[in-house]
Every structure is written in C-alpha cells, then in structure tokens.
Amino acid sequence: MRLQLAIVVALTATAHADPEGDTATVVARTSGYLDNDDTAISTSTIAVKAKPKDEIVVSARYTADAVSSASVDVITAATERWTELRSEVAGGVAWVDSSMQLSADYIYSHENDWDSHTIGLGGSRDFLNHNLTLGLGAGYVTNAVGRRDDMTFSEKLNAVSGSVRAVWPASKDDLLQVSYDIARATGYQASPYRHAFARGPAGALIAFPEQNPELRTRHAVTLRWNHHLLDDTALRSHLRAYVDDWGIASVTTGTELVYGLDDFELSGNVRVYAQRHARFYQDVYDEPRVYMTADRELSSFQDVFAGVRAAWVPLDDKLSIDLSFTGFYFRFPEFSRLPSRLGATAGLGLVWAL
Amino acid sequence: MIRLVLAVVAVLASGCGVKAYQRGHLAKSKMQFNPSPEQNQLEQHVYNYREGSVGGYDGGGGGCGCN
C-alpha cells in the first residue's frame, strides 16, 4: 500500500491555488484519522516552495505519520497493538513559463520495516492559444520491505508508472481534464504480517502467510470537470474507472461545491467508491492456494466520504488558514472479520505567502 | 476514440475555443484541478491506504490560458 502512495506522490503536479508568494511559500498541515477498527493516525507535513529566479521553482517537504493500531489485521496476526512512525522527505525543481512546465522530484520514505526511493518526472505544454494542455508524467519507485523483529526477512518491490493528460476549456465556465495512468509493480506485494485462512480436512481454520502475485499492472482513466456556477462559486466533479490484472475493477466519483464570500471560502464534498474483488481473493479459502490474501482492500466493497472545509484568506490572499472535517463509511460484505468501518478525519492547514 | 480526439483537436484548432478575454472565470483559483497540493496529498493518502485502486488524480491544470 505504501507503493500506491509513492506512485501518486511521484505523479503529483505542482500547479496550485493556495496563496503563492513572489519569493517563497510556506505550507504547514496536520490531520488526524480515527476509525472503529481501533486505528488512529496523526499526519503532519511542512512544505516550502521558493523562486530563486522567475521561471524556477524549488520545493522541499517533510511529512511524518504516527500510527497506532490494534485492527483486525493485528489481532489475526496474533500480535499486540503496534505504533509506528513513518518519515518522508521530498525535494523537487520545476521550470515554469507561460506555456510550458517541466519538473523533477525525489522522495525518500522510511519506517522501521520499509524504505522507499521515488523519482518523478513531469512536463506539460499549452497548445492552440492555450486551448489545450497536454501533460506527461513518469515515475520509478524502489522499495526495501522488511519485517519488524526479523532481520532475516528482506524483500524488494519496484514499480514504474506513467501518465498522460489533456486539459481544455469546454466553455468560458467549464474546464475539463482527461487522464490515463498506468503503473506496473514487480516484487513482493503481500503483507509480511497478515495471514490468510483455509479450511483443513476436519474443517478447522489453518493460517497461511499471505502470498500475492509478484506482477501487477494497473490502469486508471479519470475525467474531471470544473464548472463555474455563480460569482465566486464552483462545482468540481470527477469520475474514475480503474482495472488491474489481479481482477480488481473500480469506479470512483465525487463532487465538491466551493463557495467564496469575502475573505472566507466554504466547501462541501462527497465521494463514492465501489470495487470488485481480486480474482484470487476469498474471505476463507476452501483449500490452500498458490495466492492467498487476507487483505480486505482486495475484496469487493463500497465506501463513501463526505466532508466540509472552511478557509479564511486575509491579508490580500497572502495568508490562508483552513479547517476540514470528513466522515467515512466502508461496507465489506466479503470480509467477515470487519463487515464495516466507520471513521473520521480532521485537518488544519496554514499557507503563508512571502 | 482516436476520431473523438481528432474531432476535439479540430474544433479547438478552428478557433472555436474559448478566447483569452472569456477566461476570467476559468482563471479563478476555485477552478483549478489541484488548488491545494499538500491537502490533496493528505486526502489521497487516506484513500490509497484503504482502497485497492490508485492513480488518476495528479494535479493537471493549465489549458485555460491563466498562467
């Protein structure tokens, strides 16, 4: 799963609308996560962007995750509650002019049982009098996977990814983006802690170390539509279709209404996700198989997120302070150990443009 | 699919695209696809750890002559 994060981070572009300074911008964010699977996560990040020259943007970021969990994964692994700190540092440089952008990023992530190095390259260019923007991205990530308190366990996981996208204004009030992403991962893709269960000859459950295929190719096509509604109000919507060669297929859709009022910005959003299981997934296997997983994220399930956000942007847009709250619900009809998950996230952000 | 892409490009190239003076609404920060990258990163972090899918939500932007 950390691989998924790395791929997304590698392909994240630098375009933004937070306050942006003439010489530098400082961003600090913190968020908390809590769910009824006995998991709590605190995430904090600080990022700095600077413009040493008009067309050059350099950036640096540090993110830390503190996780405390006694979820069903932990219970079935017969271990106690665990706590963990993940640290991530990132640096990047971008060249930006009025119609073209090139960027390169590097990310290093470390936790006690996982090390990751990611390289990302991106570029985009406007065509047809800025009526069409085409963008390309590519990433490579290499991971060293370990297991806590087990120096003999050492696995590798590498992945390459690429993306293409097109952005165009469909009218004076509508902006559209369509993108295609592909990622191919090679190596150890199971959890070194989880065990899958199969029924033995007498009907008793027998635990087996999780084993997933070592190759996985993912495809995602995403359509995003931003529509200007009123004077300072916009509706931002998206639809994504995803398939991979493990048999997972999913659809994601969501929309966000953003309303501006003087120095304040209010928004509400809802996001819905539905997924079909990997072809080798079973809640309890009828017999031992080559590939066996206890990962509920590989089962069929649905989830919904709904949230609100309020931002205060004083000082001629040089400062922004925002608060957000999101609630979520997951339904796992194929995972008997956790039929549903209910939780919430809350965040606080500060952006200072110098 | 290729015909659709070519048709879109042909329409844009023919001058039927949005003119520069019509892009006032499109230039607003609320119309950007990734208005807050660090917040987007934290949100995607939650999704990517808890769902079987990944990708498709990179920043994008541009295309409206708003740079």
pTM of this structure: 0.88
- Determine, for residues B59 and A12 on separate chains, whether the beta-carbon distance falls below 8 Å: yes
Q: What is the pLDDT of residues B11-31, one digit of tens each?
A: 555 555 788 888 888 888 888
What span, in angstroms and rounded, lies between the C-alpha atoms of A342 and A328?
Answer: 6
pLDDT of residue A344: 97
CA distance B12 to chain A (A): 7
Residue B30's SS3 state is helix
Residues 6 or more apart from B43 whose CB is under 8 A from it?
Answer: none
Which pLDDT value is given to residue B5?
63
Mean pLDDT, each 10-residue run in order, chain A (354 residues) = 39 46 88 93 94 93 91 67 89 93 95 92 92 94 90 93 94 94 95 90 89 96 95 94 97 96 94 97 94 95 97 88 97 94 96 91
Contact with chain A for residue B27, Cβ under 8 A: no
Here the tokens at position A130 are 């800025």
CA-to-CA dists, residue A347 to A41, A87, A169, A277, A329, angstroms = 12, 19, 32, 31, 18
A18/A25 Cα distance (integer angstroms): 9
Residue A74: its pLDDT value, please? 63
- Say how far residue A157 (Cα) sits from the centre of its chain: 18
List of residues 6+ apart from A65 with CB closer than 8 A: A41, A42, A43, A84, A85, A86, A88
* A250 closest CB neighbour out of B25, B53, B64: B53
pLDDT, position B62: 41
Residue A16: per-residue pLDDT: 35
Q: What are phi and psi of A298, to 5 degrees?
A: -105, 5
Residues 6+ apart with CB under 8 A from A169: A131, A175, A176, B17, B18, B23, B26, B63, B64
Is the ipTM here above 0.85? no
Number of Cβ within a 10 Å radius of residue A96: 18
- Could you tell me the CA-to-CA distances from A284 to A34, A249, A260, A289, A337 in Å, in that order? 28, 21, 51, 11, 10
Query: So what's the pLDDT on residue B12?
Result: 55
Q: Which of A8, A99, A181 sits opposite B48 (nearest CB)?
A: A8
Nearest-angstrom CA–CA distance, A306 and A153: 40
* Helix, strand or coil, per DSSP, at residue A142: strand
Strands (E) in chain A, as ranges, are 24-35, 39-53, 56-69, 82-96, 100-111, 114-127, 132-147, 150-171, 174-187, 195-199, 205-209, 215-230, 233-244, 249-261, 264-276, 301-312, 319-331, 340-353
Looking at residue A5, its pLDDT comes to 38
Q: Is the pLDDT of residue B1 over 80?
A: no
Amino acid at A185: A
A331 φ/ψ angles, rounded to the nearest 5 degrees: -120, 120
Q: Of A31, A135, A297, which has the smallest distance from its Cβ to B60's Cβ?
A: A135
In contact, A126 and A132? CB cutoff 8 Å: yes
- Give A-chain residues touching B48 at CB under 8 angstroms: 1, 4-5, 8
Contact B13 A275 (CB under 8 A): no
Residue B67 has pLDDT above 50, yes or no: no
CA B48 – CA A225 distance, rounded (Å): 22
In chain A, which among 289-348 make CB contacts under 8 A with chain B? 297-298, 303, 322, 324, 330, 345, 347
Q: With an 8 Å Cβ cutoff, is A29 touching chain B?
A: yes
pLDDT at position A129? 85
Second CATH level (architecture) for the domain A110-119+130-353: Beta Barrel (2.40)
Q: Cβ B9–A349 below 8 Å, yes or no?
A: no
Q: Report yes or no: A277 and A302 within 8 Å, Cβ to Cβ.
A: no
* Per-residue confidence (pLDDT) for residue A35, from 0 to 100: 94
